[in-house]
């Protein structure tokens, strides 16, 4: 692997997964189940096919558990988690060392767009609910739709929003061109969640 030229697109670390966030992931990830209060790391690297070797090496050198490994386009995506923050960080360090990379070489995440819809119409709520995998969006609630780039950093935004505000996690998608997050709640809670999410993305 030393001859490969690696690119680190995403290094998204979470120190403690919140209950709704962890429950959502637990229903979506195809590997080890994620639980609330676990630490978590998402990484996205190129070339994508190396993700299999890199994850295997990280698991051999730490107690972290794998929730996901996949190749999307030319990039490899992996998720690892543990109740031990150190185990997750050790696994991430093992991968970076194997690639000859440093965290500072990741792509800097950015918020692409943010929209708040106040007092959602009942018909609009049903449209959102048809594709959501989290909580139901209720008519009259406020809805936040947030987009970030690279996509996997949406996990940081979602977890921090739940940590800071009394919101309902409707859906998020950490794959594709942009990561998208849908949150529901009162107008004031949604605005607080937006501020926390944006600050978390900018600090990542």
Average pLDDT, the chain: 93
Q: Which residues pair with 10 in a beta bridge?
A: 44
Instruction: Read off the pLDDT of each residue in 64-84 and give the average, rounded to a whole number.
Output: 91
**Is residue 41 predicted with pLDDT exceeding 50?**
yes
Q: Is the CB of residue 34 less than 8 Å from the CB of residue 40?
A: yes
Q: Band of the pLDDT at 74, cuts 50, 70, 90?
A: confident
Residue range 106-161, pLDDT digits in tens: 999 999 999 999 999 999 999 999 999 999 999 999 999 999 999 999 999 999 99
Looking at residue 72, what is its pLDDT?
A: 77
Instruction: Read off the pLDDT of each residue in 29-53 and give the average, rounded to a whole number.
Output: 92
Domains, the chain? 7-105 (3.30.70.1710), 110-203 (3.30.70.1710)
Instruction: Read off the pLDDT of each residue in 56-62 and give the average, rounded to a whole number.
Output: 92
**Is residue 187 predicted with pLDDT exceeding 60?**
yes
Instruction: Read off the pLDDT of each residue in 50-63 and give the average, rounded to a whole number.
Output: 91
Q: Is the CB of residue 185 less than 8 Å from the CB of residue 110?
A: no
Looking at residue 198, what is its pLDDT?
A: 96
DSSP conformational letter for 131: T
Instruction: Read off the pLDDT of each residue in 178-190 and give the average, rounded to a whole number.
Output: 97
> Hey, how many other C-beta atoms are within 10 angstroms of the C-beta on 187?
12
Q: Band of the pLDDT at 25, cuts 50, 70, 90?
A: very high
Rounded Cα distance between 163 and 139, Å, is: 24
Looking at residue 179, what is its pLDDT?
A: 96
pTM above 0.95, yes or no: no
């Amino acid at each position: 692997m030393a001859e490969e030229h690696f690119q680190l697109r995403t290094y998204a670390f979470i120190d403690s997964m919140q209950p709704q966030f962890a429950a959502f992931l637990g229903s979506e990830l195809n590997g080890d189940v994620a639980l609330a209060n676990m630490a978590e790391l998402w990484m996205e690297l190129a070339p994508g096919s190396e993700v299999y070797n890199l994850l295997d090496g990280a698991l051999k050198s730490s107690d972290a558990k794998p929730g996901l490994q996949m190749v999307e386009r030319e990039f490899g995506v992996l998720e690892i988690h543990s109740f031990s923050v150190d185990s997750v960080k050790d696994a991430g360090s093992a991968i970076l060392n194997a690639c000859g990379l440093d965290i500072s070489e990741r792509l800097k995440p950015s918020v692409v767009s943010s929209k708040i819809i106040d007092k959602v119409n009942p018909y609009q709520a049903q449209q959102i609910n048809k594709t959501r995998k989290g909580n139901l969006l209720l008519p009259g609630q406020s809805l936040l739709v947030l987009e970030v780039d690279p996509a996997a950093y949406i996990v940081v935004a979602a977890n921090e929003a739940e940590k800071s505000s009394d919101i309902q996690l409707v859906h998020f998608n950490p794959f594709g061109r942009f990561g998208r997050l849908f949150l529901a709640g009162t107008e004031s809670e949604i605005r607080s969640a937006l501020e926390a999410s944006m600050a978390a993305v900018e600090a990542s």
